Chain A
Amino acid sequence: MVRKITIEPVTRVEGHGKVTIHLDENGKVAQARFHVVEFRGFERFVQGRPYWEIPVLVQRLCGICPVSHHLAGAKAMDVIVGVGPGKLTPTAEKIRRLMHYGQILQSHSLHFFHLASPDLLFGFDADPAIRNIIGLAKSNKELAVHGVILRKFGQEIIKATAGKKIHGTGAIPGGVNKSLTSEERDYFLKSPAPFNVDTMIEWAQQAIELFKKIHRENRQVIDNFAHFPSNHLSLVRKDGALDFYHGVLRAVDADGRKILNDVDYQDYLEYIAEEVRPWSYMKFPYLKKLGKEKGWYRVGPLARLNTCDYIPSPRAQKEFEEYKAYTDGKPNNRTLHSHWARLIEILHAAEVIKELLLDPDITGGKLVKKGRKKHEGVGLLEAPRGTLFHHYRINDDDQVIMANLIVSTTNNNEAYNQAVKYVAEEFISGKPEITEGMLNRVEVAIRAYDPCLSCATHAVGQMPLEVDLYDSKGQLIDRKRK
């Protein structure tokens, strides 16, 4: 009997998506797809708005990492007001970086501690009733507290730089509207433990140690789960260092060969195109040079640590060296190593936050610059989930006439589908009974990329899991809910 399994919505991810797995008469996987079933259409309704409204408007795409959209929009608008990359005042540049690294810290912490760690700590087959953040808080209170406070620390950094923890207004075309007061700076540097940056660095380090311990104990699973070759893309600093805020576009293939060699992202359309497939609202980007079939790539922590040459902060660099040594310096294509990479990035973000807080420019007064206006601008940065593209054109009246957004989750679209296919073939194909644990494995594979579906097509919703079984005539024969 041909069967179709639907996992809808996928749980413990941001936003609303579903998975369908078609089984043939022998119970083998015939097709496995990850669908994004929402649509919001920001690219259309920003048209007509004044360009200086964009950084504040587009961040409403999402409440999880609005700072990424806020800053990518602002970076595009910097180009439009003639103060493109590298031309902001030192204070504006560093305040924006501080905001962004605070965002990386809070978003990554939310993902690892609240969403992903229950799978790693309790196992994929554990009772769903305990395989969640509440279960984590009951069994390992200290770890849960670390997760909550790390996230809070990042959120407070965002509030200090953007005015609000969610949907602030700090970045404006050509600069920022505030810097830090010395009191705000000292709050993060000198508050009694645990709420200071040194404690955050220590806790980030401890989280990496925890992952390495889990890895040692479950090497087989973590190394081989959804391990598939792919290209990887991210921004890197001009000298090849990891940089979340600004840089050049670099892509490497599964063996580490450069397939996009540090190009200026203002020209991204020369290198990247998007494919539409009829069964998902989310597009499929690919590298033009390699075509639709072979040009897909991964973005995010795994990709970033594959493309960059080094990490410009001492403790994260030490961890990076160990991480790279594990794959003999070659790109890491193991899906679950995304968590390892993400934790190294948390450590790096905390270290950079400290470095920025100690920089006198952070309390400076020169906030905004203005140059010669242009009609088009592209803003790119590395959002927590990966490379984020914002591209706008304006008319002579300062109104937006075109917007193109390629968000991180969209960049990873093919990777989700590959991961789902891999897991379905590995764990579901040919099995006589479909268990909740098997289906959770599909979600674990998606979850490793921390997709933000509200961002990619844009909505939020509850996340119960529902599985429908259909016979070959499309009749519903069984339904299970958790």
Chain B
Amino acid sequence: MPDKIKFTIDGKDCYAEPGQTIYEAAKANGVFIPVLCHYEGLKPVGSCRICSVRANGRWMTSCTQPVTNGMVIENATPEVEAYRKAIIEMLFVEGNHFCPTCEKSGNCELQALAYRYQIMVPQFPYLFPKREIEAFPGFLLEHNRCIQCQRCVRAIQTEDGQKIFALKNRSKDLRINVDLKLAARMTEKEVQKAMDICPVGAILKKEVGFRIPIGKRKYDQKPIGSEVEENK
């Protein structure tokens, strides 16, 4: 395979196409690396840091870093896994995530990762921030659950490329902001797309919650990542 890039993940020989990111190459080799801000087809931003790996000894976000020949990647090591677990826990304590009554439960990527990483009680204190639910004609924006991954910001645009979702404020006050006029013109299909692309239950299409019965939801039968690992 002369055109292939050869590298290792946790000692396993892997091969990649030139230009592939570590995340893409790992996936192609049946190795699961968790992502939250990244989404297939969107330009990666590396903001959530959950896909971080050690590449040749340095911390890098695998969704943004192209793989190179001979690269040595540490992915499922105790150190990397502990780092990821801490990020998941921070995301939980920093918002108000009440899975038992959330309609995204069973389809939520954050919840699925918490199960995969066997998080019982976070090591950090809950912050219980006071946040609002904003209502728009076709959907609700539940700020209590938003993890500011920016998937909606990047994915949901009008036909002429105007963004409907954007970021406002900075640091701990960072919030998703919605263009009222553009949001009012969103079709049901676009709202559904926004809800589906959201990794948590922050964007809620009106009137359709809990339509998928328990047992048929995305992560009811198999843990997140198993679809990648089955391709080993």
Contact = CB atoms under 8 A, between A and B. Distances in A.
Interface of A: 48-50, 52-53, 55-57, 60, 81, 162-164, 167-170, 172-173, 177-178, 368, 370, 397-399
Nearest to B135: A397
19 contacts: A49-B133, A50-B133, A50-B140, A50-B206, A52-B210, A53-B103, A56-B101, A57-B101, A81-B207, A163-B214, A163-B215, A169-B210, A169-B214, A170-B213, A177-B210, A178-B216, A398-B140, A398-B206, A399-B140
Residue among B208, B211, B212 with max Cβ neighbours from chain A (10 Å): B211
Given A53-B101, A60-B100, A397-B135, A163 B207 contact: no
Contact of B207 (A48, A56, A162, A173): A173
Given A49-B101, A170-B213, A177-B210, 7 more contacts: A50-B133, A52-B210, A56-B100, A172-B211, A178-B216, A370-B207, A397-B135
B55 interface: no
B135 A52 contact: no
Given A397-B135, A398-B140, A399-B133, A172 B100 contact: no
Contacts of B213: 163, 169-170, 177-178
**Which of A52, A55, A164, A173: most chain B Cβ within 10 A?**
A52
Q: Which of A162, A164, A170, A172 has the largest count of B CB atoms less than 10 A from its CB?
A: A172
B140 A56 contact: no
B194 to A, nearest CB: 16
Interface of B: 100-101, 103, 133, 135, 140, 204, 206-216
Contacts of B101: 49, 53, 56-57, 60
A53 B201 CA distance: 12
Contacts of A178: 213, 216
Given A56-B101, A60-B100, A50 B204 contact: yes
B133 to A, nearest CB: 6
Chain B contact residues: helix, strand, loop or mixed: loop
Contacts of A397: 135, 140
Nearest to B134: A397
Contacts of A173: 207
Contacts of B210: 52-53, 55-56, 169, 172, 177
B133 A52 contact: no
Contacts of A56: 100-101, 103, 210
A398 B214 contact: no
Q: Which of A48, A49, A81, A163 has the most CB of B within 10 A?
A: A163
Given A56-B101, A397-B135, A168 B214 contact: yes
Nearest to B206: A398
Nearest to A370: B207
Nearest to A367: B211
Contacts of A52: 103, 207-210
B207 A398 contact: yes
Nearest to B137: A397
Contacts of A368: 211
A36 to B, nearest CB: 24
A48 B211 CA distance: 21
A162 B133 CA distance: 28
A53 to B, nearest CB: 6
A55 B210 CA distance: 10
Contacts of B140: 50, 397-399
Contacts of B103: 52-53, 56
Nearest to A162: B214
A50 B139 CA distance: 10
A399 B135 contact: yes
Contacts of A50: 133, 140, 204, 206, 209
Nearest to A177: B213
B209 A172 contact: yes
Nearest to B220: A163
Contact of A164 (B207, B208, B214): B214
B33 to A, nearest CB: 31
Nearest to B212: A177
B202 to A, nearest CB: 13
8 A-B pairs with the lowest CB-CB distances in the bound complex, closest first: A163-B214, A397-B135, A178-B213, A52-B209, A57-B101, A177-B213, A169-B210, A172-B210
Q: Give the one of A55, A81, A398 with max B CB within 10 A.
A: A398
Contacts of A370: 207
Contacts of A164: 214
B211 A177 contact: yes
Contact of B133 (A48, A167, A169): A48
Contacts of A168: 214
A351 B182 CA distance: 56
B208 to A, nearest CB: 7
Contacts of B135: 397-399
A48 B140 CA distance: 11
A164 B215 CA distance: 9
Contacts of B204: 50
Contacts of A57: 101
A168 B133 CA distance: 25
B216 to A, nearest CB: 8
A53 B142 CA distance: 13
A368 B209 CA distance: 12
B214 to A, nearest CB: 3
Q: Specify which of A55, A167, A397 lies most central, judged by the most chain B CB atoms within 10 Å of its CB.
A: A397
Contacts of B206: 50, 398
Which residue among B100, B207, B208 has the maximum number of chain A CB atoms within 10 Å of its CB?
B207
A396 to B, nearest CB: 8
